[in-house]
Structure 1
């Protein structure tokens, strides 16, 4: 039994049922092991959850860093690619759903730790996006406003993705980026 297989089983169930709705016995069953075997890899359900959360954040960071600025003619094209990547809820639906649950409905016992991890992740992305916004000579207040709007649109679209059909969602995503694009001039 690999630690990775165990985390994949946990990701699937935590995304589907949430932290409180998932028993370690269910994770063990999905991973094909007995429940006590989980403790060979993780000291608790909380430790397993945090390991999955950190993996999800690392996956998001790799995806973000995988978009090479040099491959895009303009900053707007690059930031559009970043925005569309961040609002792509179809490619890794379990990962996105797990992240949404963790942020919107964090387990009470892990809330502070999850907030800290999320703040660290956002600080890195703020720094990276901010450095690209320097290309258009935004001052610090303008950069912060743009990045805050960027995250607000991502958060809103994560909910709208669940509410609307694909065509309507795409219209809303396009509109959101057009507003962000307007903030860059």
Structure 2
């Protein structure tokens, strides 16, 4: 129970402040424990950060896979657009998602290698899921190109979620979506 509370508080703290601004003392205060009690569950700030990063990555990958599997009977245009909207909603509502996106784009230099390994695992896994999906669709490009293009659009939207705000996200989504969808269907 306490470990789960620490994880939830860490998501919130690191999603808001990043690694550098994140504070074990603030996390402990939010949970209602002493800072030293965190070390019962995690060896260090780095251990906590990497642990929740791994968990968040797995959660996001499971969400993406599940969404694609559940929605695969929909028209490809509707399903993919809904997936992009779902990613936006998750970023706005799920602390683990916000943390995950932030940790993939803003990495502490001393944890960069480990975080890049997690990010590449996520991207490679998601690309494989998308290629499998696109292989079943009537599209004008190869499944590999379609999957890579979709990931490029998703990455650009993640950037706007982090830095641009809702208006910039909407502008990027509408423009990027039109070009992406036309590119895979014509």
- Aligned counterpart, 1:91: 93
- Aligned counterpart, 1:12: 12
Runs of 4+ in structure 1 deviating by more than 6 angstroms, as ranges, are: none
The 5 A counterparts of 1:24-173 are 24-67=24-67, 68-72=70-74, 74-88=75-89, 89-92=91-94, 94-136=95-137, 142-161=142-161, 162-166=163-167, 169-173=169-173
RMSD: 2.3
Does 171-180 or 7-16 show the bigger shift?
171-180
| CA offsets 1:144-169 (integer angstroms, 9 cap, x no match) | 33333222222222333443544x63
C-alpha distance in 2 between matches for 1:117 and 1:173: 26
Structure 2 gap ranges (5+): none
- Contact 1:13/1:27, CA 8 A, preserved across alignment: yes
**TM-score, with structure 2 as normaliser:** 0.84
Structure 1 gap ranges (5+): none
- Contact 2:19/2:108, CA 8 A, preserved across alignment: yes
**Residue 2 of structure 1, CA deviation:** 1.8
C-alpha distance in 2 between matches for 1:150 and 1:51: 28
Tell me how many residue pairs correspond in the alignment. Answer: 181
Distance 1:23 1:171, change over 3 A: closer
Distance 1:164 1:35, change over 3 A: closer
